[in-house]
């Protein structure tokens, strides 16, 4: 039973799928939640209303477009996470939407599901950093882990790899972007590991490749940064952000 | 010269009539102003009178509130009736126009709109009958002008953000804004019940007329409506199978656009065949597999029928051999071997006799199938099934390799027919869309599917560039057109007559008048009732890009199609990019082996990267 909730909380299938997703992604706009669950907008609103009535989520219009939904403390406890219960930060809304769109895009593909791939969110990585939050380590926007042997179907050629995912809406400098790429591609340890294990010469890199999803504005910078990487450039993949990644005002 | 008495009387009567009209206009100036404004707006926007009547109806709550308010404040309804007089007094004594407008608005607005509706309907009727206007060509130019106004209003409507959703709250599909409707409801938006886009439909339109835009919208509408029904527990998940029979780079671009649009509509996975996904012909039931395999090979007639029979017998022996049907093309070809067939049928004297009879042809049959499978490519050799995706976009190279495309289309339709005949609870909602049908029309008997598909829960949508492209024979074209219960979409096409004729005719009045001078008409004439096409073929011939005429049940709705916004189309990646290693050495050792190529996977998710 959740303290403060009006009654015992039983998580239905949709809740079990959506609430951990919400927890990982900080918050979602209603259209993305609709896409995640495969519901109609009306059904999704009804579902969110039910969650709100159970004090699992809060909802509000934080940006142009559909309202945002994020987990309350009770909601975070219900899904077993210890993230701080805060609404999505206004300056990060566009970025959060873009990362969510990337994750939804990946998870909608059969090869991703058949390969048993797993998304580790930036929020998860940040939580693993624990007391070292605020350190100088760059955290990717997500990690995609491909198991060596998927539970069903043949393993893809890249089974066993871990990919770093970066969504770039606004361009940084080429030098800064190249530094981030190099940092991500040369890291050997998991996030939250002792500092001495973060980069061990001779150890295989943690991220086999980094996938950049770029807005048109950021594409040029990312491409130039990749070209500056030398041999590491072969491990950088660049693609365009899906159209649904942009806030309504930016489309 | 002294005018005759009759002329004087006529002029006097006319002056009296004009004076009376002016008196009424001045006396009811607020009503006249609203009516004139209503008429002007209706003319400018190309409205039908019903729209003005509806606007007047929407004013009724205002009238009711005003009456109730007056009755409560003054304990009588008399002040309400006296309001116009008070308004005039306000103007004459104080020049207070605002007060006059407020006092008269509750009555003047609805009455003015009703008057405008009545006057506008009279005007439209007179012009439609050819009894109005100053010049003999006035009726035609009035209609052309009204069409332009209606087009402009429809374009403005679809340009307004959010004004044209894909589905309404009731789940109806919205194609775009209505330009003009004849025999259909006069509404702002072209709405189709969701079950109609799951029915058989025909789309005819030449290159550059907006056919792809319309098709994408129809497919997205089918997907969104199907997902909504599935989420409501009414039906199984939707399955859309598109056969793009043209092929080439254009097809790839459209596939990319379709993938994005369908994903926006809720499809979780869209497979592009054969570029990014495969299907397995060998999943067909053995009996169907024999028929399909035999049909893949083009046969002659006359004496060649003998070889067809031999081939069918051999294919049957190979497919229905003990141990089950083959699982791949290689497996099938390996069975077309005398030794193998004699071994597996060693226990059956009758089958063994057949094998020995066909032994001389086995080599030739094997050669023919080897050539067929080489030309078909690996797309039908599996693994994969139609149930694995929400939508399949199948690209058939009908322009470059018509014979191959015909065979592929035949195999894909057989796969789909086999898929839908397997009972499922709840049954999937399936739509087969065949674009550029003419490329495969010769060997794809789609009209047979058209006639049988409804019972299987399968809708078929056929699109072609012209009436002639629908089928090879006139009979087959009419068969298709008359069984399209979901309606016919006509975009600009030079020969719409056969399809327009299916919409039927409607009665119209044609008037003749006597010209008595330059732009002067006598007051006598005659009118006759005659039949005109419901859908004007000239309008269809002159449709602009993005405009379509939707024919259904004896009516037509001319529509400005709302384009679905999707991400920019992208060219497919021909091959993985190679990057030469150069520059500084990384701090840690890179992966020892070259990384596997993930281009295909990322292209499937995010589109290709130029």
Residues B299 and B263 in one domain: no
Is the CB of A230 less than 8 angstroms away from the CB of B585?
A: yes
Is the CB of A237 less than 8 angstroms away from the CB of B584?
A: no
Average pLDDT over residues B595-605: 87
Most A CBs within 10 A among B586, B607, B610, hence the mutation to make, goes to: B586
Residue B41 and residue B39: Cα distance in Å, rounded?
A: 5
Is the CB of A202 less than 8 angstroms away from the CB of B607?
A: no
Residues B344 and B391 in one domain: no
**pLDDT per position as a tens digit, B263-286:** 888 887 788 888 878 888 888 888
Is the CB of A109 less than 8 angstroms away from the CB of B601?
A: yes
Residues B275 and B195 in one domain: yes
pTM: 0.63
**pLDDT per position as a tens digit, B398-425:** 777 777 888 888 888 888 888 888 877 7
| A15, HSE (Cβ side, Cα atoms, 13 Å) | 19
Is the CB of A108 less than 8 angstroms away from the CB of B260?
A: no
Is the CB of B588 less than 8 angstroms away from the CB of A158?
A: no
Residue B489 and residue B556: Cα distance in Å, rounded?
A: 10
Minimal Cβ distance to B388: which of A34, A110, A156? A110
Is the CB of A230 less than 8 angstroms away from the CB of B581?
A: yes
Question: Looking at beta carbons, which residues of chain A come within 8 Å of B589?
Answer: 201-202, 204
Average pLDDT over residues B159-181: 90
- Cα of B186 to nearest chain A Cα, Å: 28
> What is the band of A211 on the pLDDT scale with cuts at 50, 70, 90?
very high
- Cα of B530 to nearest chain A Cα, Å: 49
Is the CB of A35 less than 8 angstroms away from the CB of B609?
A: no
Averaged pLDDT of chain B: 83
- Cα of B185 to nearest chain A Cα, Å: 27
How is residue B280 written in tokens? 């397995």
Q: What is the CATH number of the domain that holds A44?
A: 1.10.10.10
Minimal Cβ distance to A108: which of B169, B269, B583? B269
**Residue A162 near residue A208 (C-beta atoms within 8 A):** yes
Can you say whether residue B515 is alpha, beta or left, with left for phi > 0 and alpha for psi between -120 and 50 degrees? Answer: beta
**pLDDT per position as a tens digit, A153-199:** 788 889 889 999 999 999 889 888 998 999 899 888 888 877 777 77
How is residue A163 written in tokens? 């990919």
Smallest CA-to-CA distance from B504 within B539, B550, B555 is with B555
Question: Looking at beta carbons, which residues of chain B come within 8 Å of A43?
Answer: 231-232
**Residue B314 near residue B336 (C-beta atoms within 8 A):** yes
Residues whose CB is less than 8 angstroms from the CB of residue A62 and which lie 6 or more positions away in sequence, other chains included: A27, A68, A87, A88, A90, A93
Residues A100 and A172 in one domain: yes
Residues B234 and B312 in one domain: no
Residues whose CB is less than 8 angstroms from the CB of residue B82 and which lie 6 or more positions away in sequence, other chains included: none
Domain of residue A233 covers: 89-251
Is the CB of A237 less than 8 angstroms away from the CB of B604?
A: no
More confident site: B277 or B4? B277
Q: What is the pLDDT of residue B304?
A: 65
Number of structural domains in chain B = 3
Residue B557 and residue B150: Cα distance in Å, rounded?
A: 12
Residues A232 and A212 in one domain: yes
**Residue B189 near residue B176 (C-beta atoms within 8 A):** yes
Residues A233 and A120 in one domain: yes
Residues B532 and B413 in one domain: yes
Assigned domain for B43 exists: yes
Question: Looking at beta carbons, which residues of chain A come within 8 Å of B609?
Answer: 238-240
Helix (H, G, I), strand (E, B), or coil: what is residue B544?
Answer: coil
**pLDDT per position as a tens digit, B344-395:** 888 788 888 888 888 888 888 888 888 888 888 888 887 778 888 889 999 9
Averaged pLDDT of chain A: 86
For residue B587, pLDDT over 80 is answered with no
Q: What is the pLDDT of residue A222?
A: 92
For residue B203, pLDDT over 90 is answered with yes
Among candidate residues A88, A115, A147, the one where a domain is terminated: A88
**pLDDT per position as a tens digit, B426-472:** 778 899 998 888 777 776 767 677 767 767 778 899 999 999 888 88
**Residue B139 near residue B527 (C-beta atoms within 8 A):** no
Among candidate residues A40, A71, A88, the one where a domain is terminated: A88
Beta strand B173-182 pairing with B555-561: antiparallel
Residues A131 and A213 in one domain: yes
Residues A137 and A249 in one domain: yes
- A127-138 burial string, b = 16+ CB within 10 Å, else e? beeeeeeeeebe
**pLDDT per position as a tens digit, B467-496:** 988 888 888 888 888 888 899 999 999 999
Q: What is the pLDDT of residue A193?
A: 78
Interchain contact B593–A (C-beta under 8 A): no
Q: What is the CATH number of the domain that holds B477?
A: 3.40.50.300
Residues B423 and B542 in one domain: yes
Residues A246 and A175 in one domain: yes
**pLDDT per position as a tens digit, B145-155:** 999 999 999 99
Assigned domain for B594 exists: no
Q: What is the pLDDT of residue B302?
A: 62
Is the CB of A231 less than 8 angstroms away from the CB of B585?
A: yes
Q: What is the pLDDT of residue B222?
A: 93
Minimal Cβ distance to B266: which of A35, A156, A251? A35
- Cα of B569 to nearest chain A Cα, Å: 11
Q: Which residues pair with B360 in a beta bridge?
A: none
Minimal Cβ distance to A105: which of B585, B597, B605? B605
For residue B185, pLDDT over 80 is answered with yes
Q: What is the pLDDT of residue A213?
A: 95
Q: In this structure, what are the phi and psi dihedrals at residue B579, rounded to the nearest 5 degrees? A: -120, 125
Minimal Cβ distance to A234: which of B567, B595, B607? B595
Interchain contact B92–A (C-beta under 8 A): no
Residues B333 and B408 in one domain: no
Residues B296 and B418 in one domain: no
**pLDDT per position as a tens digit, B241-251:** 999 988 888 88
**Residue B167 near residue B491 (C-beta atoms within 8 A):** no
**Residue B203 near residue B461 (C-beta atoms within 8 A):** yes
Residues B367 and B409 in one domain: no
Residues A168 and A68 in one domain: no
**Residue B597 near residue B586 (C-beta atoms within 8 A):** no
Question: Looking at beta carbons, which residues of chain A come within 8 Å of B168?
Answer: none
Minimal Cβ distance to B263: which of A108, A240, A241? A108
**Residue B415 near residue B407 (C-beta atoms within 8 A):** no
Most B CBs within 10 A among A154, A203, A242, hence the mutation to make, goes to: A242
For residue B103, pLDDT over 60 is answered with yes
Question: Looking at beta carbons, which residues of chain A come within 8 Å of B601?
Answer: 109, 111-112, 156, 158
Question: Looking at beta carbons, which residues of chain B come within 8 Å of A161?
Answer: 595
Interchain contact B131–A (C-beta under 8 A): no
Q: What is the pLDDT of residue B566?
A: 63
Residues A62 and A95 in one domain: no
- Cα of A106 to nearest chain B Cα, Å: 6
Residue A157 and residue B273: Cα distance in Å, rounded?
A: 21
Question: Looking at beta carbons, which residues of chain B come within 8 Å of A201?
Answer: 587-589
Residue B422: other Cβ atoms inside 10 A: 10
Among candidate residues A66, A88, A110, the one where a domain is terminated: A88
B79-B83-B86-B87 Cα dihedral, nearest 10 degrees:
160
Domain of residue B458 covers: 173-279+384-513+527-561
Q: How many CB pairs under 8 A join A and B?
A: 127
Assigned domain for B610 exists: no
For B516, which DSSP code?
Answer: E
Residues A60 and A141 in one domain: no
Residues B388 and B264 in one domain: yes
- Cα of A230 to nearest chain B Cα, Å: 4
Residues A193 and A204 in one domain: yes
Question: Looking at beta carbons, which residues of chain B come within 8 Å of A110?
Answer: 269, 271, 388-389
Number of structural domains in chain A = 2
Residues B180 and B328 in one domain: no
Is the CB of A243 less than 8 angstroms away from the CB of B228?
A: no
Residue at token pair 């004594």: B93
Interchain contact B188–A (C-beta under 8 A): no
Minimal Cβ distance to B606: which of A105, A157, A188? A105
**pLDDT per position as a tens digit, A67-105:** 999 999 999 998 888 888 889 999 899 999 999 999 999
Is the CB of A157 less than 8 angstroms away from the CB of B596?
A: yes
Is the CB of A233 less than 8 angstroms away from the CB of B231?
A: no
Is the CB of B231 less than 8 angstroms away from the CB of A43?
A: yes
Residues A100 and A190 in one domain: yes
**pLDDT per position as a tens digit, A37-49:** 888 888 899 999 9
Residues B360 and B300 in one domain: yes
Most A CBs within 10 A among B227, B600, B602, B608, hence the mutation to make, goes to: B602
> What is the band of A240 on the pLDDT scale with cuts at 50, 70, 90?
very high
How is residue B504 written in tokens? 């039927």
For residue B582, pLDDT over 70 is answered with no
- Cα of B29 to nearest chain A Cα, Å: 45
Residues A77 and A111 in one domain: no
Q: What is the pLDDT of residue A149?
A: 82
Q: What is the pLDDT of residue B487?
A: 93
């Amino acid at each position: 039973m959740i303290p403060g909730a009006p009654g015992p909380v039983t998580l239905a299938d949709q809740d079990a799928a959506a609430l951990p997703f919400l927890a990982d992604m900080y918050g979602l706009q209603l259209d993305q939640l609709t896409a995640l669950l495969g519901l109609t907008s009306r059904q999704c609103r009804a579902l969110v209303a039910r969650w709100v009535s159970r004090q699992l989520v809060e909802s509000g219009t934080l940006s142009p477009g559909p309202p945002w939904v994020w987990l309350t403390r009770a909601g975070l406890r219900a899904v077993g996470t210890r993230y701080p219960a805060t609404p999505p930060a206004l300056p990060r809304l566009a970025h959060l939407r873009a990362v969510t769109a990337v994750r939804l895009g990946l998870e909608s593909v059969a090869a991703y599901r058949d390969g048993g791939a797993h998304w580790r969110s930036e929020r998860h990585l940040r939580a693993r950093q624990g007391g070292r939050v605020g350190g100088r380590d760059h955290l990717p926007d997500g990690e995609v882990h491909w198991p060596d042997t998927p539970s069903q179907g043949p393993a893809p050629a890249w089974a066993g790899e871990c990919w770093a995912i970066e969504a770039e809406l606004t361009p940084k400098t080429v030098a800064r972007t190249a530094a981030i790429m190099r940092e991500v591609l040369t890291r050997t340890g998991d996030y939250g590991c002792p500092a001495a294990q973060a980069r061990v010469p001779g150890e295989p890199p943690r991220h086999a490749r980094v996938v950049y999803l770029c807005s048109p504005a950021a594409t040029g910078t990312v491409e130039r940064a990749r070209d500056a990487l030398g041999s590491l450039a072969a491990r950088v993949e660049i693609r365009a952000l899906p159209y649904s990644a942009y806030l309504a005002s930016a489309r | 010269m002294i005018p005759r008495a009759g002329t004087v009387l006529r002029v006097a009567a006319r002056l009296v009539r004009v004076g009376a009209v002016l008196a009424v206009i001045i006396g009811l100036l607020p009503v006249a102003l609203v009516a004139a404004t209503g008429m002007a707006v209706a003319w400018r926007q190309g409205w039908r009178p019903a729209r003005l009547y509806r606007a007047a109806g929407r004013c009724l709550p205002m009238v009711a509130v005003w009456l109730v308010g007056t009755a409560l404040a003054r304990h009588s309804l008399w002040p309400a009736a006296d309001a116009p007089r008070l308004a005039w007094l306000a103007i004459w004594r104080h020049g207070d126009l605002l007060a006059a407008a407020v006092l008269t608005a509750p009555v003047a607005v609805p009455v003015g709109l009703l008057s405008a509706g009545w006057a506008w309907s009279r005007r439209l009727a007179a012009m439609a009958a050819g009894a109005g206007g100053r010049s003999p060509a006035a009726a035609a130019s009035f209609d052309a002008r009204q069409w332009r106004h209606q087009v402009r209003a429809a374009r403005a409507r679809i340009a307004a953000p959010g004004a044209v959703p894909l589905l309404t709250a009731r789940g109806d599909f919205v194609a775009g804004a209505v330009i003009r409707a004849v025999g259909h409801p006069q509404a702002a938006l072209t709405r189709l019940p969701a079950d109609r886009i799951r029915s058989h439909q025909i789309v005819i339109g030449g290159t550059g007329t907006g056919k792809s835009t319309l098709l994408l919208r129809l497919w997205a509408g089918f997907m969104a409506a199907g997902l909504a029904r599935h989420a409501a527990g009414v039906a199984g998940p939707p399955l859309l199978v598109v056969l793009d029979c043209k092929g080439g780079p254009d097809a790839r671009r459209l596939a990319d656009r379709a993938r994005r649009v369908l994903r926006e509509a809720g499809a979780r996975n869209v497979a592009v065949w054969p570029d990014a996904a495969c299907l397995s012909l060998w999943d067909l039931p053995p009996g169907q597999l024999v028929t399909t395999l035999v049909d893949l090979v083009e046969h002659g007639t006359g004496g060649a029928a003998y070889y067809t029979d031999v081939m069918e017998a051999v294919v049957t022996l190979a497919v229905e051999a003990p141990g089950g049907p083959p699982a791949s093309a290689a497996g099938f070809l390996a069975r077309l071997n005398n030794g193998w067939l004699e071994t597996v049928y060693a226990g059956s004297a009758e089958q063994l006799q057949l094998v020995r009879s066909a032994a001389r042809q086995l080599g030739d049959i094997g050669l023919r199938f080897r050539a067929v499978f080489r030309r078909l490519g690996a797309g039908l050799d599996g693994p994969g099934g139609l149930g694995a995706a929400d939508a399949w976009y199948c690209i058939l190279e009908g322009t470059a390799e018509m014979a191959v495309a015909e065979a592929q289309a035949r195999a894909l339709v057989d796969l789909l027919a086999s898929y839908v005949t397997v009972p499922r609870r709840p049954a999937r909602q399936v739509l087969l869309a065949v674009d550029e049908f003419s490329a495969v029309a010769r060997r794809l008997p789609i009209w047979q599917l058209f006639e049988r598909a409804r019972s299987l829960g399968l809708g078929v949508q056929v699109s072609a560039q012209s009436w002639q492209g629908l089928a090879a024979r006139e009979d087959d074209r009419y068969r298709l057109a008359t069984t399209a219960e979901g309606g016919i979409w006509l975009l600009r096409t030079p020969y719409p007559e056969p399809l327009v004729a299916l919409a039927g005719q409607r009665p119209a009045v044609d008037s003749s008048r006597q010209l008595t001078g330059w732009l002067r008409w006598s007051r006598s004439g005659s009118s006759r009732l005659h039949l005109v096409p419901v859908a004007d073929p000239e309008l269809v011939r002159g449709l602009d890009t993005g405009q379509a005429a939707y024919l259904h049940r004896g009516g037509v709705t001319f529509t400005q199609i709302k384009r679905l916004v999707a991400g920019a189309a992208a060219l497919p990646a021909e091959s993985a990019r190679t990057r030469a290693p150069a520059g500084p050495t990384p701090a840690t050792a890179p992966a020892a082996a070259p990384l596997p190529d993930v281009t295909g996977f990322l292209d499937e998710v995010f589109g290709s990267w130029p």
